[in-house]
Amino acid sequence: MPVITLPDGQRRSFEQPVSVAEVAAAIGPGLARAALAGRVDGRLVDTSFRIERDAKVAIVTDKDSDGIEVIRHSTAHLLAHAVKSLFPSAQVTIGPVIEDGFYYDFAFERPFTPEDIAAIEARMKELARADHAVTRRALPRDEAVAVFQGIGEKYKAEIIAGIPAGEEIGLYGQGDWFDLCRGPHVPSTGKLKAFKLTKVAGAYWRGDSRNEMLQRIYGTAWPEEKSLQDYLHRLEEAEKRDHRRIGRELDLFHFQEEAPGAVFWHPKGWTLFQQLIGYMRERQLAGGYQEVNTPEIMDRTLWVQSGHVEKFGENMFMTQTPDERVYAIKPMNCPGHIQVFNQGLKSYRDLPLRLCEFGKVHRYEPSGALHGLMRVRAYTQDDAHIFCTEEQITAESVAVTHLILSIYRDFGFDDIRIKFSDRPAKRVGSDEIWDRAEAALRAAAEAAGLEMAYNPGEGAFYGPKLEFVLRDAIGRDWQCGTLQVDFNLPGRLGASFVADDSQRHVPVMLHRAMFGSLERFCGILLEHHAGRLPLWLAPTQAVVLNITDRQAAFARQVEESLQNQGLRAEADLRNEKIGFKIREHTLQRVPYLLVVGDREAASQSVAVRTRTGKDLGTLSLDTLLQGLKAEVASRGRVVMEG
């Protein structure tokens, strides 16, 4: 008689072994219809899984993240079933769940065409409507190898052959088709109601370029049609907001093969970049930070001593000089800041010491991973390191978190998620030190009143961290800022201070970044605002447009007045129709278009339009200047349009 304990603490007794589906039915018919899988003592299982002893059981539906993952996993199998149904000679390989969807890799004698993809998706819908029951059976490894070899699926046979001999192999079937899988899966194909195939790409077998090229079909799947359509709308919006497209349209930056993963900033893009630095410099100085600058190239021995070569060496650029000395281009700023700290005797009275740097770092990223400003090899960190005592960790961490959240609000990000990441498998330092560091960071987060998600095993190799994740205008998440507690690197690199007991102690070092990468943050800003940056960030804040040559002198006077007040303005005096000039600068996302004709020149005023097409009427030059300066000072609050 197994006793089942439900998530709300209720207990139900059954007279014989019972399946997850039967538990759901005992609770209610609605839950029985909604059940996709179950969690039995924490393990995710099929609804057909039989429970033979007392257990804690949760019914998984499409309202749960686990349920959505099961839907996507099962839809990947539906894709493979459809491909085999339409193209029997195709061979299936692997089909995992990925963020927002799934993919499946196939070996086929010719490339899949757009018409093929449409036919495959249509066949998937037919198979879903057929509501085939999804069943599981288990085979010994060698028997499973023979089964797949017998039907010509050499890739599946190879996968199974690499599994230890004593392990049980799970096969899932639906209709006349079956596949290798650990599961779990939905009870029947009828549960798969909202999916879409999105693209085809090439992929090497087992990710090795020495192996044959396969075809990878990507798709997305959701619990219901509305979620699918919302997601497809987000994809369309993301395409429109792609920072690479905006960068070309607004002439901000470019990339080229001679410097893969490095940005060529154009004047307007560099203006935006410098606005970020100027803003952050102002906030950091007000927060008690001291700005430093450290070398980009340092001897390899320093990086060996710090532990970076052992833990991070494959991502570092190294160079050897004619005298056979090996140098590393820095991938991080922390060892350099410790060298600054080590100059001169430090006392506990000097702590906390907050050092910051806009440091250029280089990390090797595979060429296939590079993605515009979002994933580069050369980038600038708004890096800071706070040297403090163990007793100062909480106060300093609270100050950092408040500063980070305030800064994000200034850039238009109000929806922030925070993750706590603990010790990774590859790390330096003893477990006792990690225990202290993790406890200190948790205490600081609690003192700051932060709500956190748990991100196990994703800490830095030298300490646990908080990750600050921004949600943008179309619902995408971007991990930007970090705060790490480090009990390891200062001691490895010889840092110490004289405490109030007159003894030398090793300081704790807090690693802190807010933008993370300035290049990436520029990309995030461009996509979040769709290129329509707030006035204080816009490379060109206003453009003065004359209607005829008669107003050229006054247009230049307006341009000069704006520039003298620190505003980024320019005059467009081309002999073009005013409608053409307005349209062109609107497409350039210039916040304010200032039109001057004979009447405006005579009255020393301007006709003001916004990039959204709103007509703000005619304003005196003084009123215009006051309004623009107030909006810049507000960092985001629209004053002129109000």
The answer to whether position 370 is within a domain reads yes
Q: Is residue 200 located within the same domain as residue 273?
A: no
Q: Are 147 and 154 in contact (CB under 8 A)?
A: no
Mean pLDDT, to the nearest integer, of 242-258? 96
Specify the pLDDT at position 207: 82
Last residue of a domain, one of 213, 238, 263: 238
pLDDT, one tens digit per residue, over 96-117 is 999 899 999 999 999 999 999 9
The SS3 call for residue 432 is helix
Residue 62 falls in the annotated catalytic set: no
CB crowding 596-633: b at 16 or more within 10 Å, else e:
bbeebbeeebbbbbbbeeeebebbebeebbebbbebbe
Which residue in 315, 433, 20, 4 sits closest to 187, CA to CA? 20
In a domain, 247, yes or no: no
Task: Indicate whether 244 belongs to any domain.
Answer: no
- CATH number, domain with residue 46: 3.10.20.30
> What's the chain's average pLDDT?
93
363 is catalytic: yes
Catalytic status, residue 176: no
* 334 included as an active-site residue: yes
CATH number for the domain harbouring residue 599: 3.40.50.800
Beta bridge partners of 299: 327
90 with 177, same domain: the answer is: yes
Same domain, 196 and 320: no
Verify that 176 and 191 share a domain, yes or no.
yes
Considering the domain architecture, whether residues 78 and 153 belong to the same structural domain is answered as: yes
Mean pLDDT of 509-513: 94
Model pLDDT for residues 386-408, shown as the tens digit of each residue: 999 999 999 999 999 999 999 99
Catalytic residue among 174, 284, 381, 551: 381
The arithmetic mean of pLDDT across residues 305-323, rounded, is: 91
Within this chain, do residues 444 and 556 fall inside the same structural domain, yes or no?
Answer: no
Q: Of these residues, 125, 311, 363, 629, which one is catalytic?
A: 363
The residue to which tokens 């007000």 are assigned? 286
Say if 280 falls within a structural domain.
Answer: yes
Residue 214 inside a domain? The answer is: yes
Tally the domains of the chain. 4
Q: What integer pLDDT is reported at residue 638 of this predicted model?
A: 59
Residues above pLDDT 70, as percent of the chain: 99
Residue 233: its H or E element: helix 225-240
Catalytic residue among 191, 193, 196, 511: 511
Structure tokens at 392: 């100062």
537 assigned to some structural domain: no
Confidence of residue 636 (pLDDT cuts 50, 70, 90): low
- On whether both 561 and 522 belong to a single domain, the answer is no
Express each pLDDT in 364-388 by its tens digit. Answer: 988 878 999 999 999 999 999 999 9
Q: Which domain holds residue 596?
A: 542-634
Does 377 lie in the same domain as 325?
yes
Query: Where are the extended beta strands (E) located within 472-553?
Result: 477-486, 497-498, 504-505, 508-513, 542-546
Q: Is 383 among the residues known to form the active site? A: yes
pTM of the model: 0.80
**Domain shared by 302 and 231, yes or no:** no
Distance CA 372, CA 470 (A): 19
Same domain, 143 and 174: yes
275 tagged catalytic: no
In the prediction, which pLDDT does 118 show?
A: 96
Q: Which of 185, 385, 505, 609 is catalytic?
A: 385
Once rounded to an integer, what is the mean pLDDT over residues 160-179?
A: 88
Cα(175)–Cα(196) distance, rounded to whole angstroms? 21
Residue 134 falls inside a structural domain: yes
Is residue 276 in a domain?
A: yes
